[in-house]
């Protein structure tokens, strides 16, 4: 799918005019009312939850895209929500776990195909502490949830590009190779 997402927007969202035309590579502008719409990425979160046995909580995706592949808890940020609130809500929705601390680590851009529409996202990675790592269940977008030893994590088993990249970065940092974590 090489078509720019703005090509799918045919009418001005402010006045409804069909004279809604490309303004530049990031925006469209209405010739009738002058409204300019900038296409920006959606905010999303990814949770890295490590238990006392040095195992990472992973999920199996229940839905497309990448249904059946491994993933980490997380998802889109809701309106009026901070990244920390969003990651805590997503962890709760997908695993039932209560996040007590969310530490921002880094962000990565991603492309996420949703209902045939390519959504540009900015995925924020958080190291999360939860109340009890023994009481969780797969819910919502997760078909399965389980802890996997860090030494057994293979980023190529994860279905989303940013999660693979983020895991590689996180694992390198966790093993003391900090120069890779800052690049």
**Each residue's pLDDT tens digit, 123-182:** 999 999 999 998 999 999 899 999 999 999 999 999 999 999 999 999 999 876 544 334
Q: Helix, strand, coil: what percent of the chain each, to 5? A: 20, 40, 40
Strands 142-149 and 55-61: antiparallel
Predicted local distance difference test score (pLDDT) of residue 118 = 83
Which phi and psi (to 5°) does residue 20 adopt?
-100, 105
Match 């990675």 to its residue by tokens: 125
Could you tell me the domains of the chain?
5-38 (no CATH), 42-181 (3.90.79.10)
**Each residue's pLDDT tens digit, 88-126:** 999 999 999 999 999 999 999 999 888 878 889 999 999
Which phi and psi (to 5°) does residue 89 adopt?
-65, -45
Match 């006045």 to its residue by tokens: 15
Q: Are 180 and 167 in contact (CB under 8 A)?
A: no
């Amino acid at each position: 799918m090489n078509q720019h997402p703005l090509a799918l927007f045919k009418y001005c969202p402010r006045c409804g005019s069909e004279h809604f035309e490309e303004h530049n590579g990031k925006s469209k502008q209405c010739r009738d009312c002058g409204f300019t719409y900038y296409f920006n990425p959606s905010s999303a979160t990814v949770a890295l939850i490590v238990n006392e046995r040095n195992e990472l909580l992973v999920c199996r995706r229940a839905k497309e895209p990448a249904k059946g592949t491994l993933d980490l808890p997380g998802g889109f940020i809701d309106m009026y929500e901070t990244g920390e609130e969003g990651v805590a809500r997503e962890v709760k929705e997908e695993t039932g776990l209560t996040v007590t601390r969310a530490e921002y680590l880094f962000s990565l851009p991603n492309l996420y195909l949703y209902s045939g529409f390519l959504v540009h996202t900015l995925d924020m990675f958080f190291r999360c502490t939860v109340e009890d790592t023994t009481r969780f269940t797969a819910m919502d977008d997760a078909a399965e949830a389980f802890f996997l030893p860090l030494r057994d994590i293979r980023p190529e088993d994860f279905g989303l590009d940013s999660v693979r990249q983020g895991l590689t970065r996180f694992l390198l940092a966790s093993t003391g190779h900090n120069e890779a974590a800052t690049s």
